[in-house]
Amino acid sequence: MPYNFLYMPTFRARQQELIVLKSFDFGDKIFPMIEIIKEKDRLDNNKDINVIWEGIINSITATKVLIDLPTYLKRSNAMSKEVIKFDMKYLSNLYNRTSFFNNFLNCKEKVIPVISSLLLKTGESNTLKSQADILRPNFTNLAFRLFVNGFDEDIKEIKNIITADDILIYDYDTPSTSNVLKKIQSLEISKLTCYKVALCSAINKDVQNKGLIHGAVVTEADNFLKDTFKSSPLNMNAFGDYAGIKKDELSSGGTISPGFVIYNPVDNLYYGFNSELKELSEFKNTIIPAFLNSDIISQMNNNNSNFLNTDNLGWSIIQKINTGEDNGKSQAKFKRISIEHYLHCIKQLIISGNIN
């Protein structure tokens, strides 16, 4: 097989996530996947689309970058207008979907297009083959993303078009290991000879900052794939998640609700911190001190000194907020901290051989 990566963090093309994509050194065992949900990274960006995305890809320190135009999005009144516009123009139109990948032709050796069926989105059949036929002449490798819903139809089509040099991504959606249907589908996937990735959003989408129990485990999160992706019935080559944060509904803004969800690699659990006061200053005044004085810090330091070192940019930002070099008054910044910290910890687990 042409790959040996073990982890596929999934990003949305939003400001903080793009910052992480450009700042983190993924090495050769981590292939990031970007779900593009809007045409440009900033509404006021006057550059051409291909220049924007080519620049983003070239700035990412990774061997390969997977690019996905997600078909699972469901439009709602809460969704931001630019996401709805992008969905209508590209995500639901087969021709526009494949044409969008032309923006990556100048970096095609690094980019792997991700193909998903449009059957449940538009009712069209055989869309996996149609997309593959258009994209394969221009890109060295392709990836196919399968979902629990629509699996039976999609797997029949994929069997006839996927090659040993392609990647298959099976999206489990939610962290449930007891779903019999998912296990049956996993066994079906294990028969394929391509490289296989199990993807799951480890943090339940219903988790809200206001509902976190201060300093306690987030019980609605389950990072099970990290330890089980190679075991039966999964038998996958790699695993993926949403890089330490939840897969939210892409809504357009919200109220101030100070909260922080952070990963502990020692016990493979997520912990939550919040404040009853709805003020951004609570990140520095309440959340950071509580986190720094928690058992999580000593556990990480005692287990592996590399978890909390200067290469962990999330940890570095926390230190700056604690010393006053950064005021920390940003919910978005704490999302970045969670991502940077999670990615660093997973990379350290790979380097140490704990994920192999």
Q: What is the pLDDT of residues 55-100, one digit of tens each?
A: 999 999 999 999 999 999 888 888 888 889 999 999 989 999 999 9
- Per-residue confidence band for 42, with pLDDT thresholds at 50, 70 and 90: low
Model confidence at 14: pLDDT above 90: no
Determine the average pLDDT of the residues in 145-154. 91
Q: Give yes or no for a contact between 184 and 170, defined as CB atoms under 8 angstroms apart.
A: no
Q: Is the sign of the CA dihedral 99, 24, 32, 223 positive or negative?
A: negative
pLDDT higher than threshold 60 for residue 320: yes
Q: How far is CA 253 from CA 81, 208, 284, in A?
A: 11, 14, 22
Q: Per DSSP, what are the bridge partners of residue 27?
A: 62
Q: Look up the pTM and report it.
A: 0.95
Domains of the chain: 7-207+218-250 (3.20.20.70), 255-356 (no CATH)
Question: Using CA atoms, how far apart are residues 113 and 90, in angstroms rounded to an integer?
Answer: 14
Output the average pLDDT for the chain: 91
Average of per-residue pLDDT across 231-251? 88
Share of the chain above pLDDT 90, in %: 74
Segment holding 34, helix H or strand E = strand 33-35
- Using 50, 70 and 90 to split pLDDT, how confident is the model at 178? very low
What percent of the chain clears pLDDT 70, i.e. is strictly above it? 95
Length, in residues, of the chain: 356
